[in-house]
Amino acid sequence: MTPAEQSKAALHICQLAPVVPVLVIEDLAHAKPLAQALVAGGLPALEVTLRTPCALDAIRAMAEVEGGHVGAGTLLTRADVKAAKEAGATYGVSPGATPALIDACCEFGLPLLPGAVTASEIMALLEKGYTVQKFFPAEQSGGAAFLKSIGSPLPQVSFCPTGGISLKTAPDYLSLKNILCVGGSWVAPKEAMAKGDWAAITALAAQARTLR
């Protein structure tokens, strides 16, 4: 799968909803009901970060939820890409991009949303064929103002910014022409997951769905 083909697939994922939940799953029992709650609220594209021991099993469980599109976040190595693909991830997200990571996504056919934060990084990925990119960490790297500015010289690239984005700041990003969606963790609070309050998470997802 070429980088251009990966970006075409990533474009489809990013257009499903204005917000992609960025999820850190610490209890495997939460995975499936969490996915069901988010999908029910109108957020079908889910990113499970590979930051916990049960992350890959969580992807397997969430991949069974009808209507969901589960991706693996925090991809860093070839092994991460292989494991994510085998677990049922339909796309991958990385905080940055290395030649080895890009080669692995091409090899295993996993659409990658590669991270970039400078004009040179964005240009280097565009040169390879990535027209859809992640901007991370968004709030700490200039936020919506930076992305508005970069849109003029690089209109070919569309972004999914993540990192520090909240319900309050998300509209600032979503109002820009070069923003497809934003990634955010506010739609799945740890407190609600710990209580099993899936109705509250569905309500937060439904609210996020209306942002665009």
- Residue 134 known to be catalytic: yes
Q: What are phi and psi of 115, to 5 degrees?
A: -85, 140
Q: For the chain (length 212 residues), average pLDDT per consecutive 10?
A: 98 98 97 98 98 98 97 98 98 97 98 98 98 97 97 97 97 98 97 96 98 86
Instruction: Provide the b/e sequence for 172-191 (b: ≥16 CB within 10 Å).
Output: bbbebebbbbbbbbbbbeee
Entry pTM: 0.95
Please tell me the predicted confidence (pLDDT) of residue 212: 77
Please tell me the predicted confidence (pLDDT) of residue 153: 97
Of the residues 5, 47, 191, 195, only one is catalytic, namely 47
Residue 17 in contact with residue 45, Cβ under 8 Å? Answer: yes
Of the residues 5, 86, 107, 134, only one is catalytic, namely 134
* Helix/strand/coil for 174: helix
DSSP β-bridge partners for residue 113: 93
Please tell me the predicted confidence (pLDDT) of residue 52: 97
**H or E stretch including 49?**
strand 45-49
- Residue 85 known to be catalytic: no
Please tell me the predicted confidence (pLDDT) of residue 38: 98
**H or E stretch including 20?**
strand 19-23
DSSP β-bridge partners for residue 184: 21
Q: Give CA–CA dist 129/145, Å, rounded.
A: 25
Q: What are phi and psi of 186, to 5 degrees?
A: -65, -20
**H or E stretch including 79?**
helix 78-87
